[in-house]
């Protein structure tokens, strides 16, 4: 599985160019530029640019709201003697009034770090807009473009630390090295791990005084609630431009009782792949109970499938009573379908898992 360090934004046209205006009969809201291009920047930077917006009309213009098309952007605005932060701009309705000939400054702040949703693609283009809505009935919002070419400042030896299925109470550590050939005179000052993980760092061999190399160790924390987790470890940096590096981490934390499929890393699903249909084909579900104080015993298994359930059978195999079982599902010879899918429902007297559903699927090779 490949995860990466920076993000890619969808493209929008008309980002930068000459002065832009939104006009009505007696109303004209004008910006000093249609947009701003930050040029080539690094993931992790904090970018700012200030636009000047002027009412060139003959009557007051009410600024109803300021909207960003990118979650990475916030604003500050100067109206009269007031300095409005982003929270105030978002809450205040209307934001303010510009009298004829009056101007306001709008500072746009772009934070190229933060949420894991930004971590998409190894390189990216930022082309987004800021919309300034006003009270003119036939007047469209004033659109200000922001753009940048974003690239990673750091390289990662392993771009995504994927722990795969993690059994309850299991201890495991994954590591990666990070370094930069794009910037220098940086240092790691700390590391923050998301819930479910711990992290530490140390300087590693192979770097230089100007461009040191670091190793980051990430471990899973015991007793994490079951479920899929996809987050990022944040490495804090001392550098005038790049403030942090985010390392994607993933894990599937299992409950006391885990249901492991027949494919590596698969959970709660059985995949037959492609079968010939000329002979019986089987897959096995592996059930493991990590808590001997709460035995898990499958008591009844229901199987249903499309197109026909009669083409399948199941068999329960006990390995260690209350602790480990296998369920073998067999697609019988001569199955009359190109594609099939079904579900196993496993009933038990276990307090946490009285009923468990497992999907299965497969393809039949055409003759």
How far apart, in whole angstroms, are the C-alpha atoms of residue 12 and residue 268?
41
Q: For residue 246, what are the β-bridge partners?
A: 234
pLDDT at position 139 is 66
Residue that is written with structure tokens 């196993």 in the block: 344
pLDDT at position 170 is 84
CATH of range 257-364; options 2.60.40.1840, 2.60.40.10, 3.40.50.360, 3.40.640.10: 2.60.40.10
**Is residue 293 left, alpha or beta, with left meaning phi > 0 and alpha meaning psi from -120 to 50?**
alpha
Residue that is written with structure tokens 């230089």 in the block: 208
> Range with the lowest mean pLDDT among 62-66, 83-87, 257-261?
257-261
pLDDT at position 117 is 41
The whole-number average pLDDT for the span 196-206 is 95
Higher pLDDT, residue 312 or 262: 312
Pick the closest to residue 221 from 175, 173, 269 (CA basis): 173
Q: State the pTM of this model.
A: 0.64
Pick the closest to residue 251 from 334, 168, 311 (CA basis): 168
CA angle, residues 88, 89, 91, in degrees to nearest 5: 65
Q: Does the pLDDT of residue 42 top 80, yes or no? A: yes
Q: What is the DSSP letter of 189?
A: E
How far apart, in whole angstroms, are the C-alpha atoms of residue 224 and residue 196?
6
Going 278 to 280 to 285 to 286, the CA torsion angle's sign is negative
pLDDT at position 8 is 32
Higher pLDDT, residue 181 or 126: 181
The whole-number average pLDDT for the span 233-249 is 93
Distance of alpha carbon 230 from its chain centroid, rounded? 7
The whole-number average pLDDT for the span 329-343 is 91
pLDDT at position 44 is 86
List the chain domain ranges: 20-151, 155-253, 257-364
The answer to whether domain 155-253 and domain 257-364 are alike in fold is: yes
Confidence of residue 123 (pLDDT cuts 50, 70, 90): low
155-253 belongs to which homologous superfamily?
A: Immunoglobulins (2.60.40.10)
Q: Residue 327: helix, strand or coil by DSSP?
A: strand
How far apart, in whole angstroms, are the C-alpha atoms of residue 254 and residue 266?
12
Confidence of residue 352 (pLDDT cuts 50, 70, 90): confident
pLDDT at position 154 is 94
Which strand (E) or helix (H) includes residue 269? strand 269-275
Q: Does the pLDDT of residue 75 top 80, yes or no? A: yes
Q: What's the mean per-residue pLDDT of the chain? A: 85
Q: Check: CATH 2.60.40.10 for 20-151?
A: yes
């Amino acid at each position: 599985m490949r995860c990466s360090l920076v993000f890619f934004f969808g493209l929008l046209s008309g980002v930068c160019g000459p002065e832009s205006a939104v006009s009505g009969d007696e109303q004209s809201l004008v910006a000093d530029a249609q947009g701003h291009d930050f040029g080539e920047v690094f993931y992790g930077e904090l970018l700012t640019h200030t636009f000047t917006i002027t009412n060139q009309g003959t009557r007051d213009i009410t600024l109803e709201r300021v909207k960003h098309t990118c979650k990475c952007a916030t604003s500050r605005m100067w109206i009269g003697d007031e300095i409005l932060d982003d929270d105030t701009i978002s809450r205040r309705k209307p934001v303010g009034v510009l009298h004829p000939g009056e101007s306001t400054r709008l500072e746009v702040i772009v934070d190229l770090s933060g949420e894991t949703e930004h971590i998409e693609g190894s390189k990216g283009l930022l082309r987004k807009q800021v919309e300034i809505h006003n009270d003119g009935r036939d007047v469209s919002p004033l659109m200000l473009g922001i753009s940048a070419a974003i690239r990673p400042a750091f390289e990662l030896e392993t771009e995504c630390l994927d722990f795969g299925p993690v059994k309850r109470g299991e201890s495991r550590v994954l590591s990666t090295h990070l370094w930069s050939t794009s910037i220098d005179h940086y240092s790691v000052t700390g590391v923050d791990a998301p819930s479910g993980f711990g992290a530490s760092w140390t300087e590693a061999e192979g770097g230089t005084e100007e461009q040191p190399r670091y190793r980051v160790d990430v471990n899973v924390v015991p007793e994490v609630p079951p479920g899929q987790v996809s987050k990022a470890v944040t490495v804090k940096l001392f550098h005038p431009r790049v403030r942090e590096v985010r390392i994607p981490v993933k894990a599937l934390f299992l409950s006391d009782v885990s249901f492991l499929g027949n494919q590596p890393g698969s959970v709660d699903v059985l995949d037959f792949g492609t079968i010939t249909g000329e002979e019986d084909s089987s897959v096995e579900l592996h059930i493991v109970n990590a808590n001997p104080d709460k035995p898990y015993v499958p008591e009844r298994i229901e199987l249903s499938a499309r197109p026909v359930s009669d083409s399948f059978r199941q068999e329960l195999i006990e390995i260690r009573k209350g602790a480990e079982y296998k369920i073998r599902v067999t697609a019988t010879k001569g199955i009359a379908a190109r594609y099939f899918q079904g579900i196993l429902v496993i009933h038990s007297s276990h307090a946490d898992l009285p009923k468990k559903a497992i999907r299965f699927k497969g393809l039949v090779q055409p003759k």
